[in-house]
Amino acid sequence: MPAKSRSGARVKLNSMSLTEEDYKEIAKKHKPKSNIFGNCLKAFLVGGLICLIGQCIQQLFMTFGGMTSREASSPTVAVLIIISVILTSFGVYDKIAQWAGAGTAVPVTGFANSMCSSALESKAEGLVLGVGANMFKLAGSVIVFGVVAAFLIGVVHVIFGLGGSH
């Protein structure tokens, strides 16, 4: 018969009776140690490298395309998204993300990676009900919150007259 914990819950694991406290103690011993400083450093370096690559691409558009900084912004984002999707398709982006953690999730490339990953995972279900439906499960919430945030910023902009005249 399983042992009772302080809360009265019965815990049974592989025909071995443990109290809740014993289980927590065993789990704590086997939990991998987290290197917070190292993880933050890797995320910072990889996120910064992605942004540096984006800046270099933008500079190429400005130098060889004769674009202004503002004009080069959209094609720069498009190129970063394409690079992210290609790397995701070959399984490279996920390996980088596993090592770097949040550094790959923050830039626009992380969003493209998550969209592409969802599409690849559900391609066997068909284009419409598989790829189309599942790809936007994540994107839907991001788009909704992005639109709401943009609306609220716009309201603040109008109320306080920020940004000068246009």
Top mean pLDDT of 8-12, 49-53, 99-103 is at 49-53
| Within a domain: 15 | no
User: Using CA atoms, how far apart are residues 166 and 66, in angstroms rounded to an integer?
Assistant: 24
Is residue 8 over pLDDT 70? no
| Within a domain: 146 | yes
Q: How many helices (H) and strands (E) does the chain have?
A: 6, 3
Which domain covers residue 78, as residue numbers?
38-159
Q: Is the dihedral of CA 87, 88, 89, 92 positive or negative?
A: positive
Question: The whole model's pTM is what?
Answer: 0.65
Bridge partners of 13, per DSSP, are 16
Convert the pLDDT of each residue in 45-90 to its tens digit.
999 999 999 999 999 999 999 999 999 999 999 999 999 999 999 9
Residue 152's pLDDT band (cuts 50, 70, 90): very high
Both tokens of 56, joined, read 């270099």
Number of domains in the chain: 1
| Within a domain: 132 | yes
The tokens 């190429």 sit on which residue?
60
Bridge partners of 12, per DSSP, are 17
| Within a domain: 26 | no
| Within a domain: 70 | yes
Bridge partners of 10, per DSSP, are 4
Contact between 103 and 47 under an 8 Å Cβ cutoff? The reply is yes
Convert the pLDDT of each residue in 105-150 to its tens digit.
877 888 888 888 877 877 777 777 777 777 777 667 777 888 898 9
| Within a domain: 112 | yes
| Within a domain: 97 | yes
| Within a domain: 46 | yes
H or E stretch covering 17:
strand 16-17
